[in-house]
Structure formats: structure tokens, C-alpha cells
């Protein structure tokens, strides 16, 4: 058994230049306490990767700092080998539901059309082809009947699906989702995961912050385990093991939970 984290950083099979998202030496701190410390991450292309770790382990923070939504104290992030600022058109980001003003006066279809903004520019007219595309994206998440609803009238799961539809409209290569299953109903969870899998099958890369350990193996190909530090990174079979989880979660993961995951 090797001591994964600090002493043995084997080079990942995917090189930095090819990786849809590569993070090097990322440190983000709120005040004087690091939320993320010196983290390296190399996402493999064409895969679904879950970022998992205990509460407060810096999962969302890592994602936001990589995207430039937060300013890191140290570290760099590249998307397909180039700085994030040059690759924005290849990224679709789905924020946490709670980060948005759901009282905003707008309709479902308008939110999805926001995903086409980079294409439309400041003043480009919204043409029937754009509307058709937005409606199509809504249909892929099963929300086409809600197109003219005000967003505040949707349930949590429906709001999450609208966000996913907006990301689909962006037609990106890399999809980053922050807790997409938080507070959504089972039907929505199934619908979302089906869409994400279809994206992966079409050669796209999906990275999601995830907190439900019981579904990791079922939903994802790869796992990035974090607890302020990178704990482990690799395929579900390699990484999603009792010893790594113990390393990430410490005493916070009770034996019973481990049993439920059928790992040992």
C-alpha cells in the first residue's frame, strides 16, 4: 500500500495539454484557512468524473476557482491546454441552484436562451432557429411543457433541469456541474444522469461535484477524492475503495456506511 497523497504523485496517463481540465497547485482560502490546498487535478477526456469529499472539503471551491469565478491564492487551471479565459466557449457550467435569484422576472425559455448568448453577441437577433434549439434542449431534459413558466414557479428538480438545458444549449465540450442532484426528486436525478451519460457517449467530458457516495459507482467513470488536499484520483474501481474513502472522510464515515457501499 502506498501513501498516495504527499509522497507519491505518479504522473497521470492524460497529459496536461490534452486534459479537458487540468489544475496545478491550486490553493484557495477564505481568510487564513485554506479551503483547497495545493491541489493538482487532471480530468480525463470523454469521461464522467465525480468530485467527492466530506462537507467543507473544498469541492465547489475547487470548481469555482478553476473557472475563475473565485480568485485563487496560488495555482493555475488550463482547459484543453490553454488558459480558461481563452476556452470559455468550450465550457458549460451549471451552478448550485441556491446561488441564483429565482425570483428574477424571467421565463424558462429565456433562461435556456441565455446559453446561446455567446453565439448571439450583444445585439444579435433571436431567430426561430435559436428558439427551436432552446426548445429542443428543454425537451432533452423533459421540460418542454414548461417553456413559458416563470422560473420561480418551478420545483427544485425542475429548476435544476432548466439549468442543465441551458448548459446543453451552450454546446460545449466540457460540462461542469456543482451539486446537480442536491435537493432534487428521484425522477429528476434519473433524467439528469441519462442526459449526462448521453453527453459522455457523444465524446463530451462531464465533471460533477457530488455528495452521495451510494450512487458514485453507478453514475461515474472516474473519481476525484478531495479533502482540502487531493486524496486520490483515478477510475472508480481504483479509487473508490475503503482505504481512500477513510483517508478522505477520516472518522466521519461510519463503518455501517462503508458496509452499505459494499466495499472493504
Partner 1 sequence: MIWDALTLQLGYNATLVTLGATLLGMAAGVGGTFLFLRKRALVSDAISHATLPGVALAFMVMVALGGDGRNLIGLLLGAALSAAAGLLLVSWLSNRTRLAEDAAIGSVLSVFFGLGIVLLTVIQTMSAGRQAGLEDFLLGSTAGMLRNDALIIAVAAALTLALVLLLRRPLTLASFDPEYGTAIGQNVPRTDLAMMGLVLAVTVVGLKIVGLILIVALLIIPPVTARFWSERTDHVVLISGALGGIAAYVGAALSAAQPNLPTGPIIVLVGFALFALSLLLAPGRGALSALLRHRRYQRRVHLRQGLLALAHGQPIYEQLTLRLLRAEGYALPDGVATKAGRGRAAKALRDETRWQLIRRDPAYEAAAQQYDGLTPIETVLTADQIREIDSRIDMRGGVMA
Partner 2 sequence: MNGSEFVPLSLVPMLTGIFVAVACALPGNFLVLRRQALIGDAISHVVLPGIVVAFLLTGVVSTWPMLLGAAGAALVAVLAIEGVLRLGKIESGAAMGVVFTAMFAGGVLLLEQSDTSNVHLDVEHALYGNLESLIWLDATGWGSLFDPEALATLPVELPRMAVTLLFVALFTAIFWRPLKISTFDEGFARTIGMKTGPLGLGLVIVAAIAAVAAFDAVGSIIVIAMFICPPAAARMMTNRLEYQIAWSVLFATLAAVLGYVLAGYGPLWIGMRDSVSAAGMIATVSGVILGFSALMGPHRQRGAAAPAA
Contact residues: partner 1, CB under 8 A: 1-3, 5-9, 24-25, 27, 29, 32-34, 37-38, 73-76, 103, 227-229, 246-247, 250-251
Residue 123 CB, shortest distance to partner 2, in Å, is 7
In the shown chain, the binding pattern of residues 73 to 102 toward partner 2, with x for contact by CB under 8 A and - for none, equals ------------x--x--x-x-x---xxxx
Shorter beta-carbon distance to partner 2: residue 7 or 85: 85
Shorter beta-carbon distance to partner 1: residue 191 or 223: 223
Residue 201 CB, shortest distance to partner 1, in Å, is 34
Residue 98 CB, shortest distance to partner 1, in Å, is 17
- Taking the CA atoms of residue 215, residue 217, residue 221 and residue 227 in that order, the dihedral angle to the nearest 10 degrees is 80
- Of residues 153 through 212, those in contact with partner 2 by CB under 8 A are 153-155, 157-158, 166, 170, 185, 187-188
Which partner from the list partner 2, partner 1, none does 158 bind, CB cut-off 5 to 8 Å by kind?
A: partner 2
In degrees and rounded to multiples of 5, residue 172 shows phi and psi of -95, 180
- Contact, 151 vs 159, CB < 8 A? yes
Number of residues in the chain: 264
In degrees and rounded to multiples of 5, residue 49 shows phi and psi of -115, 135
What are 74's three cell numbers? 496560488
Q: How far is CA 64 from CA 94, 103, 167, in A?
A: 11, 24, 16
CA dist., res. 20 & res. 175, Å (int): 10
Residue 49 CB, shortest distance to partner 2, in Å, is 18
- Of residues 9 through 68, those in contact with partner 2 by CB under 8 A are 64, 67-68
CA dist., res. 166 & res. 11, Å (int): 35
Amino acid at each position: 500500500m502506498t501513501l498516495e497523497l504527499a509522497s507519491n504523485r505518479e504522473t497521470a496517463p492524460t497529459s496536461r495539454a490534452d486534459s479537458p481540465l487540468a489544475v496545478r497547485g491550486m490553493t484557495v482560502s477564505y481568510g487564513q484557512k485554506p479551503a483547497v490546498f495545493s491541489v493538482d487535478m487532471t480530468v480525463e477526456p470523454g469521461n464522467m468524473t465525480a468530485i467527492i469529499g466530506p462537507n467543507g472539503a473544498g469541492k465547489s471551491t475547487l470548481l469555482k476557482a478553476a473557472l475563475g469565478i473565485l480568485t485563487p491564492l496560488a495555482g493555475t487551471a488550463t482547459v484543453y491546454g490553454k488558459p480558461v479565459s481563452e476556452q470559455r466557449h468550450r465550457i458549460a457550467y451549471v451552478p448550485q441552484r441556491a446561488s441564483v435569484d429565482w425570483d428574477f422576472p424571467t421565463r424558462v425559455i429565456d433562461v435556456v436562451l441565455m446559453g446561446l448568448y455567446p453565439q448571439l453577441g450583444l445585439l444579435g437577433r433571436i431567430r426561430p432557429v435559436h428558439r427551436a434549439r432552446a426548445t429542443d434542449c428543454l425537451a432533452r431534459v423533459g421540460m418542454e411543457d414548461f417553456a413559458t413558466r416563470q422560473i420561480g414557479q418551478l420545483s427544485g428538480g425542475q429548476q435544476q433541469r432548466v439549468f442543465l438545458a441551458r448548459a446543453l444549449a451552450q454546446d460545449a465540450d466540457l460540462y461542469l456541474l456543482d451539486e446537480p442532484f442536491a435537493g432534487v426528486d428521484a425522477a429528476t436525478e434519473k433524467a439528469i444522469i441519462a442526459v449526462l451519460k448521453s453527453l459522455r457517449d457523444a465524446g463530451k467530458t462531464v465533471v460533477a461535484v457530488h455528495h452521495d457516495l451510494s450512487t458514485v459507482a453507478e453514475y461515474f467513470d472516474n473519481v476525484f477524492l478531495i479533502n482540502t488536499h487531493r486524496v486520490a484520483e483515478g477510475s472508480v474501481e481504483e479509487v473508490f475503495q475503503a482505504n481512500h474513502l477513510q483517508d478522505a472522510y477520516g472518522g466521519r464515515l461510519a463503518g455501517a456506511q462503508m458496509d452499505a457501499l459494499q466495499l472493504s
